[in-house]
Structure 1
């Protein structure tokens, strides 16, 4: 009888240990909780997002206007990485193929915004465009026309700001690399006050140092009645050029604006 009682107790303890081990195997380790982190991250990113220019959306819901001078086209095409891209094609002999964003969003004095996207340029290495991205002024009493421009010239990709009088200042440049995807984020403190506005810039996930030796340029970033972002190809009339653009976003944080691929 005593032997049977001991055997029963041993079996009971084994079952209890087995159940406890299963519970331990299913329990989270440390302080990690992937589902909770993903849920929180998604909520935070959604809250920070001000505008989404995803190419899966209709053109009219993304662009305020399509600007074509010549016979260019703007289409949504399948992205090899998944989803869709905006394809801005400017044939030789045409002057401009651009999308004027951002439908439903207008930056105002004092805003602090991040504009993110990724882009693949198909063009000759020598192509000299006026812009592949610009922060363009609209309305009356313009003194800058385009406070910020990203352009190609003499084999380089060049980031510029423009002071009143449409005076260019080259802030940054790298050798132009075509046929590959590059990622961009521009931070803009929106202001007509030349002492309060500023810009910062990330290229392929790395914050860039400008020609002034710092990561920030103090400048006037608002002109006319308002400024809007534009993507595409502007200039270099003699060459056929294409700008593939994806993951266009405007947000209040870098994380929400930065391209994910």
Structure 2
């Protein structure tokens, strides 16, 4: 009888583990190849990604990614974006070894540890994008969600632009804001339930292991809907041909900085427990 109970327990445990699991990760201890875990590194070396004048900036080195050693965490990813370069981002979960393609109805818990600094010690005081939940064109949102940093981190949601040329900034609502010093490791979990319906998707957010209250803190033409406890935002999270993540440093304001972004324990799970 005891053996039967043990077998039933192990069977139940294995089924539970399979239903709540890690479905993607990018572990630098296993490979130094960006393409093993990500679709690509976006370096900004193409005509539309200019800082000052159209085309590649003369004499500006390309953005790069490599494995570095952190005294506390060991092997980590380090992305470097040079001065006068607009972009340095890991793009998409779709590596040759470990791949994930988000689709309608998916419920994803995206988790990573992160810090940021500048090569010359300059203070970042202009809002640069450090994470995007991006949509492939043609799209109505461009990026349904992002994180931006200017000494403070903001989690932002962007409404759909169905009828014309409404600016991205006018469709932005700030869901969360917190001051974070440069050079300090912090952790994020973003839950995204992927849904193309207006207010059909779900967004939840954990900072340093603690779930955060969300609100329409700063908005113009668009606001998300919120649960009564403000722990859940209802928002359109699927857009364009498909959606995917981008991590790094990006946008015109980033051009004035030589930025390093660092990543550890990057993973996606099917439950909160799987990524905590």
**TM-score when normalising by structure 2:** 0.73
Question: 1:52 and 2:25 equivalent?
Answer: yes
Is the Cα contact below 8 Å between 1:127 and 1:239 reproduced in 2?
no
Aligned residue number for residue 156 of structure 1: 152
From 93, 100, 103, the equivalent of 1:105 is 100
**Structure 2 regions of 5+ residues with no counterpart?**
1-8, 45-59, 162-167, 217-228
State the Cα distance separating 1:195 from its structure 2 match: 2.7
Q: 1:126 to 1:82 in 2, by over 3 A?
A: closer
In structure 2, C-alpha distance between the alignment counterparts of 1:135 and 1:55, rounded to whole Å: 22
Is the Cα contact below 8 Å between 1:53 and 1:248 reproduced in 2?
yes
From 177, 182, 188, the equivalent of 2:192 is 188
Is the Cα contact below 8 Å between 2:115 and 2:263 reproduced in 1?
yes
In structure 1, C-alpha distance between the alignment counterparts of 2:109 and 2:177, rounded to whole Å: 20
Aligned residue number for residue 116 of structure 1: 111
Task: Trace 1:1-261 onto structure 2 (pairs within 5 A).
Answer: 44=17, 48-56=21-29, 57=31, 58-69=33-44, 71-103=62-94, 104-123=99-118, 124-138=122-136, 140-153=137-150, 155-165=151-161, 166=168, 167-212=171-216, 214-235=230-251, 236-258=254-276
CA deviation map 1:58-93 (0-9, x unaligned): 311111011012522111112323442110111211
Shift >3 Å, 4+ stretches: 123-127
In structure 1, C-alpha distance between the alignment counterparts of 2:114 and 2:18, rounded to whole Å: 22
State the Cα distance separating 1:46 from its structure 2 match: 9.1
**Structure 1 regions of 5+ residues with no counterpart?**
1-35
State the Cα distance separating 1:172 from its structure 2 match: 0.5
Q: Which moved more, 1:202-211 or 1:121-130?
A: 121-130
Query: Secondary structure of the residue that 2:255 maps to in structure 1?
Result: coil
State the Cα distance separating 1:99 from its structure 2 match: 0.5
State the Cα distance separating 1:125 from its structure 2 match: 3.6
**TM-score when normalising by structure 1:** 0.77
Query: Secondary structure of the residue that 1:237 maps to in structure 2?
Result: helix
RMSD of equivalent CA atoms: 2.2
Q: 1:45 to 1:151 in 2, by over 3 A?
A: farther
Greater helix content: 1
CA deviation map 1:84-113 (0-9, x unaligned): 211011121111110102012111111111
Q: 1:197 to 1:99 in 2, by over 3 A?
A: same
In structure 1, C-alpha distance between the alignment counterparts of 2:207 and 2:189, rounded to whole Å: 7
Aligned pairs, number:
218
